[in-house]
Structure 1
Amino acid sequence: MNLDPIATIIDAHLHVWDPSRGVYPWLGEHLAPVNRAMTLREVMPELTDRGVGAVVLVQSADAGFDTDLMFETARSHPEVAGVVGWVPLDLPAEAAGRLARLRDEPLFAGVRNLIHERADPDWILRPDVDAGLGLLEQAEVPFDFVAGGPQALATAAEVARRHPGLHLILDHLGAPPLDADSGQAQQWLHDLEVLAGHPRVYAKLSGLYLGPDPAGDRLRRAGSHIRAALRLFGSDRLMYGGDWPICLLHEPYGRTLDIVRHSLPDLDATGWHDILTATATRVYGIDLRRPASARP
């Protein structure tokens, strides 16, 4: 694949997993299409068709085996430009040791925990977890924040307030409402504006699934949300993510990219370069010029 950093599209949010390696508590028969090993090799033809030349693998389980699998995938796929792994943020001493080991990996790009799967919506604000986030802030390691529930954006803003030096990446644009509830949309926009006021917060244009939309109403709302994000963050704080294979529960790979392109018809070349390449490169510390022989 062509890894010219000017021409390469980076998919900043892609998963691989293998249930034979360990437990993914959220995965089961109710997610039958993806309740199996999902490998990068499977999606490679679609990435090629879409001009995606590099990907960031993002954690799928709060366990070490999942991060190990991503680094193993990287060793056989030079298309992997970064890995967002896991450390136990609620165990700061253990997190410090694991973080030190991960930082020895050339492709280590950031940390995520499945905070949206936890029963306590304020888990991320607990003192022990806050100490773990402090480790990331001190080490200048980005943190992917995945939203779950109506209070998630306000919670993310509180994390950003407590840790102004932390590079916080909002996954899936904070799950904006796509149905016709103006109150929810106004609250989401207000919370996103507050969050965007923190200069080290970024957002992924990912996970925007329209579902059945014969009249195009959800597409129009998605477009409005994407344009709001562009206005609030600027293109240099936005990045594209395809969210494969979760996207397969809703639509084929690449539909999110189509939605983003449709929503920003007037964006100039610099803006597209930011969203499709430069923001992820800068925030995750990606080096597209690193030869395959130098990868782990």
Structure 2
Amino acid sequence: MRIDAHQHFWEYDPSRQDWIDDNMKSIRRDFKPGDLQPYLEEFGFEGCVAVQAEESLRETDYLLDLADQNNWIKGVVGWTDIGSNRLSQVLEQYHGNKKLKGFREILQAKPPQYMLRENFLRGLKSLQVKGYTYDILVYPWHLSAVLELVTKCEEHALVIDHLAKPLIKDGEWKEWKKNLQPIAEREFVYAKVSGLATEADWNNWSEETLMPYIEIALELFGPKRLMFGSDWPVSQLAGSYEKILQAVENFTDSLSSEEKSWVMGKTATEFYKLEK
């Protein structure tokens, strides 16, 4: 399947989407499945993975409800407090919901040591036992902690969102690559080619701006551990769905058809165990 492995939905509420600051006024509105579906159809995607954007169980329930109503939402990455003493009860609550594939917290907003707490690591193990994936949302300065994390979580299905948000606007890549490389050596860690344009200058970027970072991702992870995600609608800050997609499409056109099929859907399908 051809899959958009990373996008969001929300009914805008300034108290809930308080991370949308004044620089992001254009996305201070509702974004629902009916807004995304035309893009997926136009560009040949058979489905998507909806990822949490709010830290609440209400968010998880909201996305699962949308997935129940829309067959093409193939999977949901919800939220839960991984370190909570109630984690086992929460997981039991969602037991049997086939659309719930994994979880994510907004780790980028927390200090690096947050993910190395004993109760967090214990919670991740619980996710692994239950067969849930975990999306790692971090900045480059979290990567040393991520390395320690993945060293402690052997064989858990983990994916790094947005390639850990390299400092594209500053043109920095050497330190980012150096810190990402040992993480990529763990074959159970995957990465999303997503959210890159919003790390560049929103009004002054081109495909050439993003290419060094995508090339490094391919070098480190290979096509079978990379997956495309639009990061819609956050990506709208930096360009249209078509422009964001085209940058990755043009890069993957240099690969074999089999390699391209992995990046554009097969990797996500296998990682999240998506059903057709």
Written as runs of structure 1 = structure 2, the 5 A alignment for 1:53-202 is 53-91=46-84, 93-118=85-110, 120-148=111-139, 150-179=140-169, 181=171, 184-202=172-190
Distance 1:278 1:103 in 2: 25
2:214 matched residue in structure 1: 226
Q: Secondary structure at the match of 2:102?
A: strand
Change (3 A) 1:268 1:39: same
Distance 1:87 1:130 in 2: 14
Deviation of 1:28 after TM superposition, in Å, equals 4.9
Question: 1:277 and 2:242 equivalent?
Answer: no
Distance 1:190 1:229 in 2: 12
Deviation of 1:270 after TM superposition, in Å, equals 0.8
Deviation of 1:222 after TM superposition, in Å, equals 1.7
Distance 1:169 1:139 in 2: 17
Deviation of 1:103 after TM superposition, in Å, equals 3.2
Structure 2 unmatched ranges of 5 or more? none
Q: Which runs of 4+ in 1 moved over 6 A?
A: none
Question: 1:26 and 2:14 equivalent?
Answer: no
- CA offsets per residue over residues 158-207 of structure 1, 9 Å max, x none? 111010121110001111232454xx411111112111111100000100
CA contact (8 A) 2:252 2:260 kept: no
Question: 1:249 and 2:237 equivalent?
Answer: yes
Deviation of 1:13 after TM superposition, in Å, equals 0.3
Distance 2:54 2:243 in 1: 25
What amino acid is aligned across from residue 108 of structure 1 in structure 2? L
Structure 1 unmatched ranges of 5 or more? 289-296
Deviation of 1:20 after TM superposition, in Å, equals 5.1
Q: Secondary structure at the match of 2:101?
A: strand
CA contact (8 A) 2:162 2:191 kept: yes
1:204 matched residue in structure 2: 192
Distance 2:260 2:95 in 1: 30
Distance 1:166 1:141 in 2: 9
Deviation of 1:23 after TM superposition, in Å, equals 2.2
| Length, aligned pairs only | 273
Q: Percent sequence identity over matched residues?
A: 26
Please, what TM-score do these two structures have when normalized by structure 2? 0.92
Deviation of 1:40 after TM superposition, in Å, equals 1.3
Distance 1:177 1:27 in 2: 20
CA contact (8 A) 1:14 1:58 kept: yes
What amino acid is aligned across from residue 92 of structure 2 in structure 1? A
CA contact (8 A) 1:168 1:202 kept: yes
CA contact (8 A) 2:51 2:76 kept: yes
What amino acid is aligned across from residue 262 of structure 1 in structure 2? N
Distance 1:54 1:128 in 2: 34
Q: CA RMSD in A?
A: 1.9
What amino acid is aligned across from residue 116 of structure 1 in structure 2? Q
Deviation of 1:122 after TM superposition, in Å, equals 2.1
What amino acid is aligned across from residue 24 of structure 1 in structure 2? Q
